[in-house]
Structure 1
Amino acid sequence: MHRDPGAHGRLVQRWFARLALVAGLAAVVILLVFAGFRSIALLGAGLAGLATSAACLWWALTVRGIGRLLAFTLAAVAPLAVLVLYAWAELVWVVVVSLALWALGVSVGRAALSRDIESAGPPETRTAPPKHPFLIMNPRSGGGKVGKFHLKEKAEALDADVLLLDTAHQQDVVALANQAVEDGADLLGVAGGDGTQALVAGVAARHGIPFMVISAGTRNHFALDLGLDRDDPSTCLDALTDGVELSVDLGFIGERAFVNNASFGTYAAVVQSPAYRDDKVRTILQQLPDLLTHRRGPRLAVRTADMIIDGPQAVLVSNNPYRMGDLAGLGHREVLDSGALGVLGVNVDNAAQAAELLAGRRASGLTTLTAQEVVIDADEPEIEAGVDGEALTLPTPVRCTIRPGALHVRVPRHRPGVPRTKAPMDWRRLRKLALY
């Protein structure tokens, strides 16, 4: 007798949904039983504490001197005051248990709903291994991963032509990549940061040859979305002998390619400061008041075919949209072949809007959309930008476009894979699933 694995998976999914509903219901019941009508006051106090902290943090970032100190103090005191209130009411344990049950319900519920979502990723194509691969490696990238993992030696053992960048002198990686293609290279690869990868990826796309990513950078955002192993970059070299190709989109600012994103406004202006590299926190705190309140820096305007965002403090244009459930770290993109740019605009003009950002994507100060073309204009002839981590100054208007399927990336056939897509929490859908 054969068991249906699909039926087993659906059974597990159903029980996950039931557990989530029980945990969520228990969280509410505990509050009502042990706190009674005070549960409403407890919830209101908690939300008020969060809103107060958010508002105070906004004030702290937009003022200087004693006002900043007071704002930071209030931001820290507000949640402590809520805890004192809970302790005075002798209900700390009730709140802790209720929050723990609610967190369990949300976690298990999202896991149940996510089982219906297929793993993201463009189709794989089996192709013959390259005959003349050319790899550019930055020995300083990622704290010296090229040397730590012996990437040059391992790549040369696989008949790849490897060029180690001279870290003492600035080198034009675009010119190096173009020369390699003229010399017969049929694959270009990079062991380095996302900025270097983007420049060489643009050359590979222009010549119609495969591109290879070796996750030797610091953050390796592009490698993450390709499903590569970021802990051991040497595994990326398996693509030379046992690889597949993925056709992914490529973003462009004019004719300059970007694989991840381009940022404009507050963040881009701060990282341009000469003092930023030596003292990031102090530089940010010094410059944010003028930038956030528009006392300094250009006033931006973002135009797409369907919308205009006027005066945002920060704009992020990404090669395919980021998952909005992970704004703090801009976790990853669900797909790399949607054929659309992701646009995120932040426009916060007061403390109330800062507090409202806690609501996430529905906050009035947060605009998210997708487009095939995005134009960033300003009231100044040039604006600062961060393109895949590289600080640039660009003439306005800046035109961002996307070229669907322009880049053919060769990756190992066996790799960890992209992080599993997380479904948004939907209690109504979860109830239907549990009762199915």
Structure 2
Amino acid sequence: MRRSAALKPSRADFFVKRLSTSANHSLIWFTAAAVLATIPGRGRRAALRGVVAIAGASFTASLVGKRVFPRRRPAADLVPVARRLTRRPTSSSFPSGHAASAAAFTTAVALESPTAAAFVAPVAAAVAYSRVHTGVHWPTDVMFGAAIGVGVGMLTQRWWPLGVGEAALSDDRVRTPVLPDGQGLAVVANPNSGPDDTDPAVEIKAAWPRADVIRIDDLRDLDLTDVRALGAAGGDGTVSAVAEVAAAHGLPLVVVPAGTLNHFARDIGVESLEQSRTATESGEGITIGLGSVAVDGGEPSIFLNTASLGGYPDLVRLRDKHAKRWGKWPAGAYALVRVLHEAEPLVVTLDGRREEVWMIFVGNNPYMPKGFAPATRHRLDSGLLDVRYISADIPFSRTRFVLAAVAGALHRSHTYRQVDLPEVDVRVHGRPVALATDGEVHPEGRLFHFESRPTALTVYR
């Protein structure tokens, strides 16, 4: 502190003071996050992870650290008057909340975008030093605050693994038919998909002037004689319905992300109609696996993303209902707690074992993380199903599950089970239950046979 105070006065003192105050309430980092959010992909993920890290670091440093380790701040007269802040903080000096937030934001951004972090890190370091330069923190306050921030930033990976939002891998890259101006392409559009219920037909015709555009209601009557590829413009339910027809007739699939969440489009790496158009012009694609489920011995139907039994369909509906207003993760947490509170356990025989469960989740290819909040897939051609369920035959199973989920320790919880299998049978004892696939609820049944179909569908990418 004395060495810092002994530095000769300079014009830098004014800017250091302004920088220090600009970090009050993490305003500078929220501004940086807003800028990063304008960059699709890594930029947006970096912004969101950074904001989450700030919240965790602020809570840990200010509401925990300062209360547990009270420490007097440096005396004001240790630094020249020109450096002193107009409003000196009165809370405990240890640890530095400014340094914690700066380090947390920088660490979180670096996990998603090292390039962006290269610009953020010098500013964060300057903010951390400014707290010593202006005489409101001891150097050890800043060091421990920065350590807290780095730790919280790294800890975000426990609940939110890296790679969420990135395209999944597939070793089966294939050549697909080249469709100049959409010749030979039939696109099935759902005008009711998307947040604004906007009919995508106009944009589709502009991208592929020679393509045929039909409504989702006319899919069953579609003549496939001259069709070389099928397109789907809508949400995951629309894409799933069209993919089933495409797979049955050996046609490649063109995905136009026109739904609200577009999970499948995101996983295959298609974020816009323009990317789909480029793929049809170049003839580039990949082969992926599909999940299938047969109910009560009937004809199997396919699913692109997930299938579920028990309370999970209700969880998805509640989460999607509140996601636009609250954000996906808060809405998901609310939906999980509410569904678990209101749900009744299911008695099932799962792959030959009798179990009492709250809900069952089956994913097409393994999802990450391995907690009960599947977010992303690293592969689309594994030939495996991701089977997860919550046991209901353990005392306080719901409470223990929620606590383990909050702590990011589901992999150690006795209430949670996860396994990757090529196929699985589920027999429900008691009343029939509804099946949900890709967000769509299907008729009820008692016997469900789930199976992975490796390399069942070719998609343009």
Which one of 339, 354, 374 corresponds to residue 383 of structure 2?
Answer: 339
Contact 1:291–1:313, Cα closer than 8 Å, also in 2: no
Residue of structure 2 in register with 1:301 after alignment: 348
Partner of 1:318: 363
CA distance in 2, matches of 1:287, 1:337: 31
In the alignment, which residue of structure 2 is the partner of 1:425? none
What does 1:101-250 correspond to in 2, within 5 Å? 101-103=150-152, 120-130=169-179, 131-144=183-196, 147=199, 150-157=202-209, 159-165=210-216, 171=217, 173=219, 175-176=220-221, 179-181=222-224, 183-228=225-270, 230=271, 232-250=272-290
Matching of residue 351 in structure 1 with residue 402 in structure 2: no
CA distance in 2, matches of 1:120, 1:272: 29
Deviations 1:171-219 (A, max 9, x none): 263x14xx332x4312111000111111111111111111111111111
Distance in structure 2 (CA, Å) of the matches to 1:234 and 1:397: 42
TM-score norm. by structure 1 comes to: 0.60
1:85 aligns with 2:64: no
The letter of the residue matching 1:342 is D
CA deviation string 1:385-428 (max 9, x = no partner): 321011223211111111111111122xxxxxxxxxxxxxxxxx
| Distance of 1:107 and 1:289 partners within structure 2 | 21
Q: Does the Cα contact within 8 Å between 2:276 and 2:460 map onto a contact in 1?
A: no
1:341 and 1:402 in contact (8 A); partners too: yes
> Structure 1 regions of 5+ residues with no counterpart?
1-76, 166-170, 412-436
CA RMSD of aligned residues (A): 4.0
Q: Residues 309 and 434 of structure 2 are in contact (CA less than 8 Å); yes or no, is this contact kept in structure 1?
A: yes
Cα distance in 2, alignment partners of residues 403 and 289 from structure 1: 33
Per the alignment, residue 23 of structure 1 pairs with none
Report deviation, 1:318: 0.7
Could you tell me which runs of 5 or more consecutive residues in structure 2 were left unpaired when the two chains were aligned: 1-58, 72-91, 97-140, 295-299
Q: In structure 1, how many angstroms separate the alpha carbons of the residues matched to 2:230 and 2:187? A: 6
Of the three residues 136, 148, 154, the one matched with 1:99 is 148
Distance 1:141 1:119 in 2: 24
Q: CA deviation at 1:88?
A: 4.3
Does residue 366 of structure 1 match 2:416? Answer: yes
The answer for the alignment partner of 2:312 in structure 1 is: 267
Deviation at 1:303, TM superposition (A): 1.9
Deviation at residue 162 of structure 1 after TM alignment: 0.9
Letter in 1 for 2:425: V
SS of 1:180's equivalent in the other structure is: coil
Give the direction of change, closer, same or farther, for the CA distance of 1:356–1:172 in structure 2 (3 Å limit): same
Change (3 A) 1:134 1:290: closer
Q: Does 1:408 align with 2:408?
A: no
Alpha-carbon deviation of 1:85?
3.3
| Conservation of the 8 A alpha-carbon contact between 2:401 and 2:416 | no
> Equivalents in 2 of 1:97, 1:188: separation in Å?
53
Larger Rg: 2
Flag the 1:102–1:257 CA change in 2: closer, same or farther, 3 A: same
**Which has the bigger relative contact order, CA under 8 A and spacing at least 6?**
1
Q: In structure 2, do the counterparts of structure 1 residues 373 and 82 end up closer, same or farther at CA, with 3 Å as the change threshold?
A: same
Q: Partner residue of 1:384?
A: 434
Matched-pair identity in %: 25
SS in 2 for 1:311: strand
**How far apart are 1:152 and its partner, in Å?**
2.6
SS in 2 for 1:338: coil
1:149-175: per-residue Cα shift (whole Å, max 9, x none)?
942322441x2111144xxxxx263x1
Write the deviation string for residues 334-357 of structure 1: whole angstroms up to 9, x where unpaired. Answer: 000000111121236153443233
